[in-house]
Chains A and B, each alone.
Chain A
Amino acid sequence: AQSVTQLDSQVPVFEEAPVELRCNYSSSVSVYLFWYVQYPNQGLQLLLKYLSGSTLVKGINGFEAEFNKSQTSFHLRKPSVHISDTAEYFCAVSEVDSSYKLIFGSGTRLLVRP
């Protein structure tokens, strides 16, 4: 069965510093990978996704993620964060053959301080 692990429940960082949010998954088959962001008092919105091809994926708001098949990871990075990036970030995985099953990680709260 597939699963997603986000080891860091909260990541505090100063404004303009780089950040990496970690995501590891387990699955016995090929997967699609997603990062969603949830701003305070809002629903989730798609940040970026990996379907196939290039392992480096660029998303909105300057975020990018790299798919590493050997390490089963899909870490999210941003070279310089802003206060407005304060939000909760969810990694999610779905198996290529599955029609709907999207498994979410437990989330990482990014707290950007001035």
Chain B
Amino acid sequence: DVKVTQSSRYLVKRTGEKVFLECVQDMDHENMFWYRQDPGLGLRLIYFSYDVKMKEKGDIPEGYSVSREKKERFSLILESASTNQTSMYLCASRLGQPYNSPLHFGNGTRLTVT
């Protein structure tokens, strides 16, 4: 069974802090994703990585950056946290081929920025 592990379940940070959200998958998946989940808005894609050191912006990349130095790990970075980044963050991974491979999600990190 694929396991996607997000390092923190709950996180509380102050405005202006640099925040790292970590995600590790154990199935050698090429693709990894960071989504943000907000009530009434569903899931919105922040960043996508299709392989090591490769990344693409999603729909809402502003205020975020990512790092993928190893295949199994995909980090989301909030350079200077703001209150409007309070949200649930979901990491997902999948095989690179075929394109319709299902996503496997972690349990999420609920981030509160005060």
Cβ B42 vs Cβ A102 within 8 A: no
Cβ B42 vs Cβ A46 within 8 A: no
Cβ A104 vs Cβ B43 within 8 A: yes
CA distance A57 to B4 in the complex (A): 27
Of B40, B100, B108, the residue contacting A94 (CB under 8 A) is B100
CA distance A100 to B41 in the complex (A): 20
Does any Cβ of B come within 8 Å of A44's Cβ? yes
Cβ A43 vs Cβ B106 within 8 A: yes
Interface size, A (range): 20 to 34
CA distance A98 to B48 in the complex (A): 13
**Could you name 13 residue pairs across A and B whose Cβ atoms are closer than 8 Å?**
A9-B40, A32-B100, A41-B107, A43-B90, A44-B105, A46-B103, A49-B100, A99-B50, A99-B99, A100-B48, A101-B45, A102-B103, A106-B40
CA distance A96 to B105 in the complex (A): 22
Does any Cβ of B come within 8 Å of A90's Cβ? yes
Which residues of B lie under 8 Å from residue A51 when comparing CB positions? 100
Closest residue of B by beta carbon distance from A91: B42
Which residues of A lie under 8 Å from residue B4 when comparing CB positions? 43
- B49-67 interface (Cβ within 8 A of A): 50, 56
